[in-house]
Structure 1
Amino acid sequence: MPKVFLRLLACCTLVLGFGLVIGCGGREANNSAVLSVKATDARGVEIVLPHYAERVVVLFEPFVDEMYMLGAGDKLVGIPQQVYQNPSTYHYLSQVDSRIARKEIATPTFGGRSTQVETVIGLQADLAIVYEYDTETIAQLEGLDIPVFVVSSKDKAHIYDELVGVGTLIGKKERAENIVAYVNSAIEGMATEADSVRKSVYYAWSKGRVFSTSGRGSLVDLSIQVAGAVNACPLPLEAPNVSAESIYKWNPDMIVLWNSDVDDVYSLAELAALPAVVNKQVFAMEPTFFFDPHTVKFLLFAKQLRHWGYHEYTDKNFKEELQEIVGFLYENNMSLE
């Protein structure tokens, strides 16, 4: 074989080999850029994953709901027992996931927030989403090298940041940002409609706890403000217990319930003379699934409040608007029925 040809072949081989090295190096860099994801949780801790999470355990019930809003319900391998035990949540999430309907997704929890860590390990989760107060569970999971994204849902900023943070870790960041933009736009639209006279609202906690309320700075307070109303409770506390005398003193225009019945108020002799009771201005948020203030659905809570308090449109118009918002949040996979 001529020496010139051999030299030419060697040069071509060298160039080709160099090109392959550069090409492979470029692909590795691109994969690293795509597959290494990070987000900061409610603690200010940066969670770094080598790739998008595909097997997610959620131990905070409201965030199960938000996983479906993100279009990531298929990534769920573990959820709280309460999802199956809450009739409203179970009914509506069954519409978007047949595994929920058949109760097939594992529930690594006992009553309340107690978690069976061994079950989480068996589920081979590459991400766990845990409520900030479940400190023991957080410590146990992190001690087993399971990445934990802690959520608080304590105000609008945290709800937004946590949604985008989880969206980033599971490959749904754009969807999360679109949800935040949609909710913000709706809030801005409501602000332009607010009446000059702000009605006062007393909120009573679930399961008939009429004398337990939410003070200033709480999530319910956020919903009341977005509705263009004012929280009748002036106390800067998350969940104060109050007396009948205090409620008479505050004299709210409306009383609003979540996961309670209006008769829980109307049957109380202590509040029988309260103007809001006399004037039949006691309302219950039903179905509870659509009005959870721990998620971006604080918007729906506010919309319902505004409809009751300011009568700016008919029941039919409100239902149509509710369906439009629900359609966006669940990508038209859920009905109001």
Structure 2
Amino acid sequence: MKMSYKLFCLVAFLSIATFSGCSHVTKNDLSKSISATDSRGKVIKLNDVAKRVVVLFPSLLDEVYMLQAGDQVVGIPQQVYQMEDTYAFLSKLDSRIAAKTLPTPTYGGQSSNVESIIALQPDLVITFNTDQDNIEQLEGLDIPVFTCSSADDKSIMAELLGMGTLVGKQERAQEIVDYVDGELDRMQVPSIENAKSVYYAWSKGRVMSTSGKGSLIDMAIRLSGAENACPLPMEAPNISAETMYKWNPDLIILWNSKLSDVYDLKELADLPAVKNKQVFVMSPSFPFDPHTVKFLLFAKQVRHWSFPSYSEEQLKKEMQGAFEVMYGKKGLL
């Protein structure tokens, strides 16, 4: 009977020790668990900071490097190697990009190779919410996917904070957001009577395709102090030359296009903005990508073209300061 009591005590002690050990592990696991809400309103949960990240769009990859989480990236969009200014800049931040050794599990546009993504064993995939086929396939395989919309300034900054959380760079993300918030406050101007109107043309010579009210581009143009020449509440309307004359913009801004794409169009030859040489190109485009927090720089560039008092010297100085904050390094621009 005495031996049985001792044996009982020993078993009880071991049971308590085992339970305490399990409780300790569970507590640690819970403390590492992190989550962020993406553009779909979906809460993305990870057991730990993502250490193997695949990014499927250049703009989103750019933001990961802003977060200084580039060493956690194991797969990038193929376009990064094809876009001259993007490749040149990101090569300064990652020798693997410079050497073109980072895998590219994507083709042009939104085409991705899901098998190649899986082979990279990602802890997290970052993509736009329009990438529906890939999202469904990857989540069906229990691979966490954080989506972005870049719909407006608020969503861009919320999504940057979400990415920062998942890659363990919350403080860095907050630093960038605080800076941009401060600059937005500083850029606010009273409503300007007879503000200049700006027509924005889509890339690759699509002069008659523009961005309407409520779009990301519309937000950036208004932030500059100018007005969007397109009054249509549409994301991407196509218009005619007749409509362009009706709107009669003061400036025309091109993205990844050439001045000749406008100046060679006979149907626009008599448009005042064309006759007055008020056609401008965002070139190189990388520093002004409006799908990132650099929408701020897009707006500053439009302000310079719209308001001569905002000088080129001031623009360059502010852009250099912005890049130092956004990337955490000097001498990148």
1:51-200 aligned within 5 A: 51-192=48-189, 195-200=192-197
Q: Which runs of 5+ in 1 are unaligned?
A: 1-13
Alignment partner of 1:324 out of 311, 321, 324: 321
The Cα shift of 1:179 comes to 1.1
Residue aligning to 1:44: 41
2:246 is aligned with 1:265:
no
Distance in 2 (CA, whole Å) between partners of 1:248 and 1:269 is 13
TM-score by length of 1: 0.90
1:235 to 232, 248, 253: 232
List per-residue Cα deviations over 1:31-52 (Å, max 9, x = no partner). Answer: 3354100011111111110000
Distance (Å, rounded) in 2 between the aligned partners of 1:254 and 1:125: 45
Amino acid at match of 2:260: D
* Structure 1: distance between partners of 2:76 and 2:190: 39
Q: Secondary structure at the match of 2:254?
A: strand
Do the aligned partners of 2:211 and 2:235 also contact (CA within 8 Å) in 1? yes
* 2:252 alignment partner, SS class: strand
- Using the size of structure 2 for normalisation, the TM-score is 0.91
SS of 1:222's partner is helix
Which digits, 9 at most, give the CA deviation of each residue in 1:150-181, with x for residues without a partner?
11111222111111111111111121122111
1:311 to 273, 298, 308: 308
Q: 1:325 to 1:92 in 2, by over 3 A?
A: same
Structure 2 gaps, min length 5:
1-12
Mapped to 2, the partners of 1:176 and 1:194 lie a distance apart of 31
Distance, in Å, in 2 between the alignment partners of 1:222 and 1:272 is 29
1:224 to 221, 226, 233: 221
Q: How many angstroms does 1:277 deviate by? A: 1.0
Q: Secondary structure at the match of 1:256?
A: strand
Q: 1:288 aligns with which of 277, 285, 290?
A: 285
Amino acid at match of 1:74: D
1:20: how far off?
Answer: 12
> How many Å separate the matches in 2 of 1:186 and 1:130?
27
The Cα offsets for residues 205-262 of structure 1, whole Å up to 9 and x where unpaired, read as 1111110101111111111011011100001111111011111111111111111112
Structure 1 distance, partners of 2:168, 2:38, is 16
TM-superposed CA distance for 1:25, in Å, is 5.3
**Matching of residue 254 in structure 1 with residue 251 in structure 2:** yes
Distance in 2, Cα, partners of 1:333 & 1:91: 16
Residue identity (%): 56
Which whole-Å CA distance do the structure 1 matches of 2:30 and 2:186 have between them? 38
Aligned residues: 321
Contact 2:303 2:310 in 1 (8 A): no
SS of 1:105's equivalent? coil
Q: Deviations over 1:295-328 (max 9, x none)?
A: 1100000000001110123322221111111111
Aligned equivalents of 2:180, 2:153: Cα separation in 1: 11
- Aligned residue number for residue 6 of structure 1: none
1:297 aligns with 2:294: yes
Residues 259-314 of structure 1, C-alpha deviation per residue, up to 9 Å, x if partnerless? 11122111111111111111111111111001111111000000000011101233
